Amino acid sequence: MGEKKKTTIVLFSGDYDKSMAAYIIANGAAAYDHEVTIFHTFWGLNALRKDEQIDVKKGFMEKMFGKMMPRGAEKMGLSRMNFAGFGPKMIKDVMKKHNAMSLPQLIEMAQEQEVKLVACTMTMDLLGLQQEELLENIEYAGVAAYLADAEDGNVNLFI
Amino acid sequence: MIVDKVLDAKGLACPMPIVKTKKAINELESGQVLEVHSTDKGAKNDLTAWAKSSGHELLKHEEENNVLKFWLKKG
């Protein structure tokens, strides 16, 4: 299947709304039979975090980062109108009304559709995130692996 | 027209109609026809573009009581 088209997305943002956009495009592209990669870096890594606390050895700074960042997709804030956490509650209500899928559901759907989810190992180190804290069945890589996917890609986004 | 499968995607929001359509058409043989029902306003443009790019043929579409109906022939 050498002629399959490719979609590659860099998810840099840790916002609920922006991550939703990334995952909707990824799911759409998978339905277009593209080979889809989402490369999660910096705050975007939080979308891959498990929602429970995982016991791992960490230094002080890493612990602080871990506490301050959202633990998993469900806990992310909005890029606009977050209102100290009230914004996400409102939007999730509206989403239910319109039958839109939640971010955790979109991530699950992406995995079902074999979207390749990649965690950037360099920024994992910076933010003190360890493999045990992230979802199962994801890949770990750096810029070169991303570029290998992106250089013959047809759609390439930075979100 | 002989319809081999009917997909009810009513009430589903983007990107689900297209994701479900893709899944449903995967289960058909080439030449078979899939009928899709959707209430998503974007579905007409979405399905037309998707069918073109994926090599399927959009035979017909119509609107009935705010439900969009499509007939797709698998390529």
**Range 8-47 of B in CB contact (< 8 A) with A:** 11-16, 18-19, 21-22
The Cα of B21 is separated from the nearest Cα of chain A by a number of Å equal to 8
Structure tokens belonging to residue A152: 């013959």
Cα separation, A138 vs A5, whole angstroms: 21
Q: What is the pLDDT of residues A138-147, one digit of tens each?
A: 999 999 999 9
Cα separation, B29 vs B19, whole angstroms: 18
Measure CA A109 to chain center: 13
Q: What is the pLDDT of residues B37-70, one digit of tens each?
A: 999 989 999 999 999 999 999 999 999 999 999 9
Cα separation, B65 vs B63, whole angstroms: 7
How large is the ipTM?
Answer: 0.83
Contact A99 B13 (CB under 8 A): yes
Domains in chain A, CATH or no CATH each: 6-158 (3.40.1260.10)
CATH number assigned to the domain comprising residue B14? 3.30.110.40
- Touching check for A21 and chain B: CB below 8 Å? no
Amino acid identity of residue A27, one-letter, is: N
- Touching check for B49 and chain A: CB below 8 Å? no
Which residue out of A6, A25, A33 would a mutagenesis test of the B interface target, given it has the greatest number of B Cβ atoms within 10 Å? A33
Question: What pLDDT shows up at residue A122?
Answer: 95
The Cα of B43 is separated from the nearest Cα of chain A by a number of Å equal to 12
Report which secondary-structure segment, H or E, holds B61: strand B57-64
The answer to whether A8 and A149 have CB atoms below 8 angstroms apart is yes
- Res A1 pLDDT > 50: no
Cα–Cα nearest to B22, from B43, B2, B52, B51: B51
Question: What pLDDT shows up at residue B1?
Answer: 86
Q: How many domains does chain B have?
A: 1
- Cα Dmax for chain B: 31
Give me the DSSP letters along B19-35. HHHHHHHHTSPTT-EEE
Report which secondary-structure segment, H or E, holds A64: helix A60-68
For residue A32, give the nearest of B11, B14, B53 by CB distance: B53
Spatial CB neighbours of B70, under 8 Å, sequence gap ≥ 6:
B35, B36, B38, B43, B47, B58, B60, B61
For chain A, where are the E strands, in sequence order? 6-11, 35-40, 116-120, 139-141, 155-158
Cα separation, B4 vs B27, whole angstroms: 10
Cα separation, A32 vs A82, whole angstroms: 33
Count CB neighbours of A89 within 10 A: 9
Q: Which domain holds residue B28?
A: 5-73
Q: What is the pLDDT of residues A10-19, one digit of tens each?
A: 999 999 999 9
- Touching check for A99 and chain B: CB below 8 Å? yes
